[in-house]
Amino acid sequence: MNGQNPVFIPGPTNIPDRLRLAMAAQTWDHRAPDFVDVFHPILEDAKQVFGTTKGKVITFPASGTGGWEAAVTNCLNPGDTVLISRYGMFSHKWILLCQDHGLNVEIIEAEWGEGAQADRFEAALTADKSHRIKAVLATHNETATGVRSDIGAIRAAIDASDHPAMLFVDGVSSIGSMPFEMDAWGVDVAVAGSQKGFMLPTGMAICGVSEKALAACDAAACTRSFFDFKQMAAANAGGGYPYTPPVNLLLGLRESLDMLTAEGLDNVYARHARLAEGVRRAVSAWGMSLVAKRPELYSETVSAIYVPEGFDSDALTNHAYDTYGVSFGVGLGEMAGKAFRIGHLGSLTPTMALSGLATIEMCMADLNYPIELGAGVAAAQEYYRTGAPLAMAAE
């Protein structure tokens, strides 16, 4: 660990001092009345990040994977069919988790670099006359490939096929960084994690849960206890958790929400878009290409970048860490060795982003990539320097 340089992994992000220090609080009795006074507004205020007024926000001490498990076990029965598209490591892992829980997973296979294709979902749902499919699962932002899918289009596909399936969305690497409209998109469970847009350490799954999803819990026979929505919602209503709550992470979330609100969510999203576009211009200047196949699929939080033929992306990221003390994302699964990733989410500024670009360029030069030093940086600078300044909320 270098501790001086920013990290450029697609989460956990760089953690603002405000959040690190807020979480360094001494123990606060979770049964104390003033803790309850703090706890309730956290769940309320988090709703806006999910784009919901009608749903609930439910938190678990877990990683985002715990949120995936909560989504499927609370609302489904063993043997139920779920429809999901596989186009990266995280959609793949969610599939495995569903299978672990005895669900029948109908998989729309797509090339890595593609997103959730609404037309194929619509076809599958339309074909499902018997409504065997109980839920559609979609990975909003596939962290392995830097692909953002159009969840609104998936919703439209469900509606067009007049299908009653619920919609569960993995928004772990999008929520808090890219616009998310849970209510408008009719999302039943949206899963986020503390360590991405919320800029906190890993340790909390944060779920947006629709009224429909909560209503579905009673009949859902998948076994669950730790991740039970209704037990949690009931305890939350009484000011607590069904078990010991992760108080320090909740205090961090309080501060994180304050930071996001102070900056303004629209400004947060605009900043991410701006940072991302600068990185993409650097990629273009290097003559490289993104794993994401088309601009409308480009993620605002992470870019997966193919290295040229004959180069090994793992050698690149290892070199960056070993020589310069900077972490970039490795290629995962099918992308191993072929692509590296630059995370550009959370607590990040153009200045920080440029340091990542400048560093990876040095690595490329060290490893004889056919790039010109400074070229990608210049392309990003040209983009970052125009337009209105986009400062992070003042600390």
Contact call for residue 365 and a copy of itself (CB under 8 A): yes
CB of 210 to a copy of itself, least distance (A): 22
| Residue list 17-46, contact with a copy of itself (CB under 8 A) | 17-18, 20-21, 23-35
Amino acid letter, residue 386: T
> Please, what is the minimum distance in Å from the beta carbon of residue 117 to a copy of itself?
26
CA atoms within 13 A on the CB side of 377: 15
The answer to whether 46 touches 252, Cβ cutoff 8 Å, is: no
Q: How far is the CB of 321 from a copy of itself (least distance, A)?
A: 6
Which one-letter DSSP state was computed for residue 31?
Answer: T
Q: Please give the residues from 259 up to 288 whose contact with a copy of itself meets the rule CB under 8 A.
A: none
Measured from the CB of residue 54, what is the shortest distance to a copy of itself in angstroms? 27
Please choose, out of 41-49, 114-122, 149-157, 244-252, the segment that lies near a copy of itself by the rule CB under 8 A.
Answer: 244-252
Q: What share of the chain is helix, strand, coil (3-state, %, to 5)?
A: 45, 15, 40
Q: Is 242 in the site for a copy of itself (CB under 8 A)?
A: yes
Residues of this chain, 180-199, that bind a copy of itself according to CB under 8 A = 193, 195
Residue 372 binds a copy of itself, judged by CB under 8 A = yes
Q: In this chain, which stretch among 13-21, 112-120, 128-136, 295-303 interacts with a copy of itself, using CB under 8 A?
A: 13-21
Distances (CA, A) of 50 to 118, 227, 228, 233, 308: 22, 19, 20, 17, 38
Write the CB contacts of 79 (distance below 8 Å, at least 6 apart in sequence): 102, 103, 104
Binds a copy of itself (CB under 8 A): choice among 53, 130, 225, 368: 225
Query: Of the candidates 104, 261, 284, 349, which one interacts with a copy of itself according to CB under 8 A?
Result: 349
Our CB check for a copy of itself shows the closer of 74 and 161 to be 74
CB of 393 to a copy of itself, least distance (A): 10
Q: Is residue 350 reached through a cis peptide bond, with omega within 30 degrees of 0 on the bond before it?
A: no
| Site size for a copy of itself (CB under 8 A) | 108
Residues 6 or more apart whose Cβ sits within 8 Å of residue 345: 10, 11, 13, 173, 177, 196, 197, 272, 300, 301, 302
CB nearer a copy of itself, residue 52 or residue 91: 91
Which 299-328 positions form the footprint of a copy of itself (CB under 8 A)? 321-327
Residue 101 contacts a copy of itself per CB under 8 A: yes
* Amino acid found at 54: K
Q: Does 347 bind a copy of itself (CB under 8 A)?
A: yes
CA 64, CA 83: separation in Å to the nearest integer?
20
Within 13 Å and on the Cβ side, how many CA atoms surround 232?
25
Check residue 203 for interaction with a copy of itself (CB under 8 A).
yes
C-beta closer to a copy of itself: residue 118 or 330: 330
* Residue 313 Cα to chain centre, angstroms: 23
The reply, when asked if residue 294 is annotated as ligand binding, is no
With H, G, I as helix, E, B as strand and everything else as coil, classify residue 89. helix
- CA 221/CA 328 separation, integer angstroms: 41
**Residues from 50 through 79 that contact a copy of itself (CB under 8 A):** 60-66, 68-69, 73, 78
State the binding site for substrate.
Answer: 341
Q: Which residues belong to the annotated binding site?
A: 341
